[in-house]
Structure 1
Amino acid sequence: MSSNTINIAPITNKTTTKNKGDFYTVCWIKNDVLSIEIDKVVYKNISNSIFFLNSRIDWKITKKNTTNSSGYVLYLPKAVLDNPLLSQLHINEVVLFSANEIPKISLAPGIEKRIQAILEMLDELLGSHLKHKDDAIISLLNTFFVYCDGQCNIKSIISESSTKKTIVYKFKKLVDKHISECHEVSAYARLLNISNSYLNECVKEILGVKAMQIITEQRIMRSRHELKFTNKSVKEIGFEMGFSSPDYFSYFFKKHTGITPSALR
């Protein structure tokens, strides 16, 4: 597969429409987008979402009249998912580009920054003449799909409307905002004005895991970032993440990662 058959473009115009050709299309909607029209049906409130569209679907993105980029549109030839590195991905098993369904992924808070970085690197590579760039592009696509398949993201079919999905998305946003001080499911249930059991039921049904696993994952992710990319001491990071002592922070971190905070650093 040649990288010349892959194309990517930022969403900068007021209106972006489908390119001609037999391509799969991945639309990452970042912000400032008013709507996406898919086969003459208009969908709004779609910020921080990714849509997977096959070549038979007509679509149009309408954004606010600003010059800022509001995401990316990525065009992939059908053969790209047959690449050995991509073909075995779990996400392919759900047939992302099904003819009868329009898969949508609502990204977990914070993941959009990683998605943006990956797509920006793809854009840069596609316009370069670097050696082995095709291998690098496939590697980035693999990373992109792995992030899309993350358990904290909400995967759905665009035609569906679910109260439970809304609750789970609000829960994840609250976790991202309050993870330093709120570490119990009950705290988030109170903020959402629902019972602990119903919050667990929603998270289990939509994400396949318990609510506490989302809280734990966020604490670990935030701690890993602070350990790798700041000069704060292990003690400082532990206290910022709400641990009562450095020893308990080390115990918790090792239990869930297999290594101590000091070893990671």
Structure 2
Amino acid sequence: MASYRQPRHHIQTVSGKVKNDTIRNMEQTIKISSILSKMTSRQNDDCYAVFWIQNEVEGIEINKTLYKNISNAVFFLNPTFNWKIFKKDTSTSSGYVLLIPRQILNHPTFKNLHITEVRLFSANEIPKINLSPGIETRIQSILEMLDELISTKLKHREEAILSLLNTFFVYCDGKCNIKSVITDNNAKSALVYKFKKSIDRYISQHHEVGYYANSLNVSDKYLNECVKEVLGVNAKHLIDEQLVMRSRHSLKFTDKTIKEVGYELGFSSPDYFSYFLKKQTGFTPSQLRIN
């Protein structure tokens, strides 16, 4: 059996003025490594394990049970689970493995996170989060920054690393993601994920729930019911959320005119684009561009 490839970097977490005695004056390490080997495994390490499975992964074996079709998802395992990741024979990275000592989550940085309140890491089930389209790239950027920062000796890097880890958890805990368990084959969750993928692909052409319901061979009513049950919002909310996110990005990070941004996102006129953003955010496109 191959053993877990020792991660390239280790960092000491913040010690001293923290509220929890289990962390004060203790040296703990967060470990991160890219998934590069054909088989990556770990057993009996007193750490929570977080995986971002990107692609080119054939499956993950957890306590001798193999799970497939796991790309573009984040998994959380408590230290009682043994695991192996089986990867195709490629030289490219297929995501990241993040090992977090138990005491880290007691740090005040994480005390108000819902992800901690629901004890995501301590459940007997295997929590799985299918990332919303667009969030995947942010997760990759955060983990790449963590990997880079851990290898440096910059002043205050410990605080920066904790901040990045907190940001990672916030994105994972967002309402736009689909939370389930790895053993869950729930048809409604699968439909909602397909709906979100379809929005990501066709948002510039189609803003109506009916188009996506028809493409998925379900009724508008059933699609709304599924989205409401899985995510707690209606189907139109997901469409509007994606439009707002793309509008903000184009307005802030491109030189396109407001008219050009609106037309590229499928709005019939600049006035209607402005009306939509004002209704959704409370700000006009011009205000969003400078804020």
Structure 2 counterpart of 1:251, from 275, 281, 286: 275
| CA deviations over 1:92-148 (Å, ceiling 9, x no partner) | 222111241110001111211100100010111111100001110111011101100
- Aligned partner of 2:16 in structure 1 is none
Residue type of the partner of 1:120? E
Larger mean CA deviation between 80-89 and 43-52 belongs to: 80-89
Structure 2 counterpart of 1:39, from 49, 63, 69: 63
Matched residues in 2 for 1:32 and 1:236: separation? 37
Residue type of the partner of 1:167? L
Residue type of the partner of 1:2? Q
**Percent identity, aligned pairs only?**
62
- Aligned partner of 1:92 in structure 2 is 116
Matched residues in 1 for 2:125 and 2:117: separation? 14
- Aligned partner of 2:12 in structure 1 is 2
Task: Find the residue that maps to 2:180 and give its secondary structure.
Answer: strand
1:21 Cα offset (Å) = 2.5
Alignment of 1:6-85 (within 5 A): 6-18=30-42, 20-85=44-109
- Cα RMSD (Å) of the superposition? 1.2
Bigger share in helix: 1
Q: Would you say 1:172 and 2:196 are equivalent positions? A: yes
Structure 2 counterpart of 1:159, from 180, 183, 186: 183
Residue type of the partner of 1:253? L
Q: Would you say 1:136 and 2:160 are equivalent positions? A: yes
1:174 Cα offset (Å) = 0.4
Residue type of the partner of 2:132? A
Residue type of the partner of 1:157? V
Please give the TM-score of this superposition, normalised by the length of structure 1: 0.97
Larger mean CA deviation between 103-112 and 13-22 belongs to: 13-22
Runs of 4+ aligned structure 1 residues displaced above 6 Å come to none
Matched residues in 2 for 1:186 and 1:169: separation? 16
Matched residues in 2 for 1:251 and 1:259: separation? 9
1:19 Cα offset (Å) = 5.7
1:263 Cα offset (Å) = 1.4
Task: Find the residue that maps to 2:191 and give its secondary structure.
Answer: helix
Rg larger for = 2
Matched residues in 2 for 1:133 and 1:20: separation? 29
Q: Unaligned regions of 5+ residues in structure 2, if any?
A: 1-10, 14-27
Is contact 2:43–2:83 with CA below 8 Å preserved after alignment? no
Structure 2 counterpart of 1:149, from 168, 173, 182: 173
Please give the TM-score of this superposition, normalised by the length of structure 2: 0.89
Residue type of the partner of 2:157? K
Matched residues in 1 for 2:116 and 2:226: separation? 25
Residue type of the partner of 1:74? L
Matched residues in 2 for 1:99 and 1:150: separation? 19
Structure 2 counterpart of 1:213, from 237, 260, 271: 237
Matched residues in 2 for 1:99 and 1:238: separation? 45
| CA deviations over 1:131-185 (Å, ceiling 9, x no partner) | 0011101110111011001111110011111110110010000000000111111
Compared with structure 1, are the counterparts of its residues 104 and 236 closer, same or farther at alpha carbon in structure 2 (3 Å cutoff)? same
Task: Find the residue that maps to 2:239 and give its secondary structure.
Answer: helix
| CA deviations over 1:60-91 (Å, ceiling 9, x no partner) | 00010001000000010111111112121112
1:40 Cα offset (Å) = 0.8
Residue type of the partner of 2:12? S
Q: Would you say 1:224 and 2:248 are equivalent positions? A: yes
Is contact 2:44–2:82 with CA below 8 Å preserved after alignment? no
- Aligned partner of 2:4 in structure 1 is none
For this pair of structures, how many residues does the alignment match?
265
1:23 Cα offset (Å) = 0.4
